[in-house]
């Protein structure tokens, strides 16, 4: 099953829409939106911020932490791996939105701590 395709009506925030669709498969639409909003709030970002691919990675890490505790190591690791591959495929076909603002220093520091970018 390919989850890397864009959902219908991707509009102005295609990465948020992709994330909502992808998480909706696991958590339902309402659950996905709740998780996204919670992760965005924990990052300290504005609620309606347009998400880029690095932001989605930060949200996925946040979701992974919760899944790790609820479904166990093996299933959470498998979920994160397949979702990350799907995101990479999606990112190859969808440009970062023109009005996207990159994550601030806090997000960069977190990504560096997770080994996702150079410090």
Given this model, what pLDDT does residue 7 score? Answer: 43
- Total domains present in the chain: 1
Is residue 42 a part of any domain in this protein? no
Structural domain range at position 79: 14-37+48-113
Which of 23, 24, 18 is closest to 51 using CA atoms?
18
Rounded Cα–Cα distance for residues 49 and 32 (Å): 16
Is residue 29 a part of any domain in this protein? yes
Name the pTM for this structure.
0.71
- How many beta carbons lie within 10 A of that of residue 41, not counting itself? 11
Is residue 24 a part of any domain in this protein? yes
Is residue 64 a part of any domain in this protein? yes
Is residue 57 a part of any domain in this protein? yes
Instruction: Tell me the pLDDT of the chain (119 aa) as tens digits.
Output: 444 444 444 468 999 999 999 999 888 999 999 999 999 998 899 888 889 898 999 889 888 888 888 888 898 899 899 999 999 999 999 888 766 555 554 544 444 444 444 43
Is residue 119 a part of any domain in this protein? no
């Amino acid at each position: 099953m390919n989850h890397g395709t864009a959902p219908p009506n991707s509009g102005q925030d295609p990465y948020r829409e992709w994330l909502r669709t992808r998480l909706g498969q696991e958590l339902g639409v309402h659950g996905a939106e709740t998780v996204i909003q919670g992760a965005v709030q924990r990052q300290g970002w504005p609620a309606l911020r347009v998400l880029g691919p690095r932001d989605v990675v930060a949200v996925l890490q946040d979701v992974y932490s919760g899944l790790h505790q609820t479904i166990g190591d093996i299933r959470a690791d498998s979920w994160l791996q397949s979702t990350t591959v799907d995101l990479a495929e999606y990112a190859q076909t969808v440009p970062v939105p023109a009005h996207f603002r990159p994550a601030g220093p806090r997000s960069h520091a977190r990504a560096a701590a997770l080994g996702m970018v150079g410090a």
